[in-house]
Structure 1
Amino acid sequence: MRIDIEDLHVAYAGRTVVAGARLIAADGEITGLVGPNGSGKSTLLRTVYRHLTPHAGRVLLSGTDLRRLAPAQAARHVAALPQERGGDFELSVHEVVAMGRTPYKRAFAGEDATDREIVARALADVGMTHHTGRRFSELSGGERQRVLLARAFAQQPDVLVLDEPTNHLDIRHQVELLALLRAARRTTLVSLHDLNAAASVCDRLHVLHDGRVIASGPPRQVLRPDLLAEVFGVRATVVDHPLTGDPLIAFDHRRPAGGPVPEPGPRDHVPT
């Protein structure tokens, strides 16, 4: 299934946060949202998974307006991993992941063999099989992130909506999570701060700036030095990654775009 966002406007507290956004998350592709803090990425994603109601515009799931679906029906199609995690669950890891089966259950229905198999597979996918009986509240931030991703997998959605899913993960688990998203080949809409991770994992990127989509396309087409300077305020060049061939952004960490040239320090002098 694909997601079409048509002329989306979202405002709250009297301020427009997303202004006329148009973008597509194609069937089976990973579509990334990138942009500086405050550009509207999280607000747009919250609208897709129905946490927010748009002021105008629509979010379509293969042509059907998501707002017209009943909550349980929508949850069978779209699963979300938001940034806000809520309070600590006084539940076991297994119980948290099993919450992903709720859209498929009648009221007060218990867990059956199919549910247990799906939950076990989701936990295995995120490397948390051996933590099934632990309390969610006892886990580290990275472990909680993986459990919540497993809950989204257990929902068996057509579309995954992920808001900064690599937050709190160490580098190994970041790489594993992104590889897992690649292997799943579900329609995925994901926001990422790490532009190199976005360039590596995403089939298409949409760049948000001040609530507007200002560029869209494959990572190599979108992540140009002039756009990085304009949107992110950084000096950078884009080269081929020596291991993967993906676009690799090399940042100038000594000064921002348009900033003054710093005086050379001791490390800048090469001994003769």
Structure 2
Amino acid sequence: MSRAAADSGAAAGERPGPASPGRRGRPRSAAADSAIIEAVLRLIEDGASIGELSMERIAREAGVGKATVYRRWPGKSALMLDVMRSLDVPGPLLDGTSVRDDLVSLLEFLRRRGLGKRSSALLRTLVSHVRAQPELWAEYHDTVVRARREALLGVLRRGVANGEIRTDRDLETVADLFVGPLLARALLHEWQELPESLPADIVDMVLEGVRPAAPEATAPEVTMVEVTVADTRTAENAVPDTRAADTAAGRTPRHGKGLGVKDARPGTPCAHGPV
């Protein structure tokens, strides 16, 4: 049988699409892509391993011809890569005004993905297959994983620029501190729901650890004045000698120049009265 005849027979088993009524066969369409990808997901959910899937079996499950599958994907690994991409959904739109709020939004997005049991289970199965193909894994990482990582790192860089995050911290490690607890909870405690408060709790705890320390309050300076013996003598000489005036006035002279209340003996008259 010629290739054209095979293609014609393959097209005959496909679902109707947006082709014009007068045209034979059908053009490549998004409907066929979706049918094939959904067929792979159903087969995996039904317990089939990636190794057990053949292009023929996938085509049969999708209700299309094998040639239709091969026109879109050269082999099974390339198809599995697109199946993985189909499970990915766009990340959140970040407000860009609050580092904390943007971090909570990113982690909330991951939390909601973790609640999707179907996509989580399928991704684990598909990742184990694609990771065995270094080129395919690199392509998936560059087109899906890296974009998410860059969104998180972008928020952290903004936090460093505005003083909310210390400048001496490695941002790749800080990013792991945000994502790690969420992934650990999802993988190690699959039977437990991820609480709604988890993203905010993680963000607040990590930010507390990477936030710059508040400047210490400085105590006011105290100036120490050294007082010498000479200083005390100068002060004593500044006190007037009242002994001669006391004698002329008929008063008993006070004992000693500059005698104060504290220096007088009890009962001794002085200018301040009896002590």
TM-score by length of 1: 0.24
Q: Tell me: higher relative CO, structure 1 or 2? Use CA pairs within 8 A at least 6 residues apart.
A: 1
Greater C-alpha radius of gyration: 2
